[in-house]
Amino acid sequence: MVVIMKLFEKCFAYDEPEIVRKRGLYPYFTPIEGSSGSQVTCYGKPHIMIGSNNYLGLTHHPEVKEAAKRAIDKYGSGCTGSRFLNGNLDLHEELEVKLAEFVGKETALLFSTGFLTNLGTISCLAEAEDVIFSDEENHASLIEGCRLSRARVVTYLHNDMNDLEKKLKKHAGIKGKIIITDGVFSMGGDIVRLPELVTLAKRYGALVYVDDAHGLGVLGRQGRGTVNHFGLDREVDLIMGTFSKSFASLGGFLAGPAKVIDYVKHKCRPFMFSASIPPASAATVLTALRLMQEDPTMIASLWRNTEKMHSGFKKLGYNTGRSETPIIPVILGKDQLAFIFTKRLSERGIFATPAVSPAVPKEKALIRTSYMSTQSEQELDQVLQSFAQIGAEFGVI
Supply the residues annotated as catalytic: 186, 214, 245
Q: Are 321 and 333 in contact (CB under 8 A)?
A: no
Through-space distance between the first and last CA atoms of the chain, rounded to whole angstroms: 51
Nearest to 363 by CA among 394, 335, 329: 335
Angle CA(265)–CA(217)–CA(109) in degrees, nearest 5? 5
CA dist 219 and 238 (Å) reads 17
Residues 6+ apart with CB under 8 A from 13: none
Q: What is the DSSP letter of 82?
A: B
Three-state DSSP state, 109? strand
User: How far, in whole angstroms, is CA 222 from its chain's centroid?
Assistant: 19
Q: Are 342 and 27 in contact (CB under 8 A)?
A: yes
CA dist 196 and 164 (Å) reads 10
Classify burial at 88, counting beta carbons within 10 Å of its beta carbon; exposed 0-12, middle 13-18, buried 19 or more: middle
Report which secondary-structure segment, H or E, holds 254.
strand 252-256
89: amino acid identity, one letter: L
- 136 to each of 143, 158, 164, 244, 390, how far by Cα in Å? 9, 5, 11, 23, 32
Residues 6+ apart with CB under 8 A from 377: 308
Torsion angle, alpha carbons of 352, 357, 363, 369, to 10:
-20
Phi-psi label, residue 177: left if phi above 0, alpha if psi -120 to 50, beta otherwise: beta
Q: Are 335 and 363 in contact (CB under 8 A)?
A: no
